A and B are shown apart, each in its own frame.
Chain A
Amino acid sequence: DSGVTQTPKHLITATGQRVTLRCSPRSGDLSVYWYQQSLDQGLQFLIQYYNGEERAKGNILERFSAQQFPDLHSELNLSSLELGDSALYFCASSVGPEGADTQYFGPGTRLTVL
Chain B
Amino acid sequence: AQTVTQSQPEMSVQEAETVTLSCTYDTSESDYYLFWYKQPPSRQMILVIRQEAYKQQNATENRFSVNFQKAAKSFSLKISDSQLGDAAMYFCAYVDLKETSGSRLTFGEGTQLTVNP
Contact = CB atoms under 8 A, between A and B. Distances in A.
Nearest to B35: A102
A48 B91 contact: no
A25 to B, nearest CB: 14
A1 to B, nearest CB: 9
Nearest to B45: A105
What secondary structure prevails in chain A residues at the interface with B? strand
Contact of A100 (B33, B45, B102, B109): B33
30 contacts: A2-B44, A33-B103, A42-B110, A43-B91, A43-B105, A43-B107, A43-B110, A44-B107, A45-B106, A48-B103, A48-B104, A58-B104, A92-B105, A94-B103, A99-B32, A99-B33, A99-B96, A99-B97, A100-B97, A101-B103, A102-B47, A103-B105, A105-B37, A105-B44, A105-B45, A105-B46, A107-B43, A107-B44, A108-B44, A108-B45
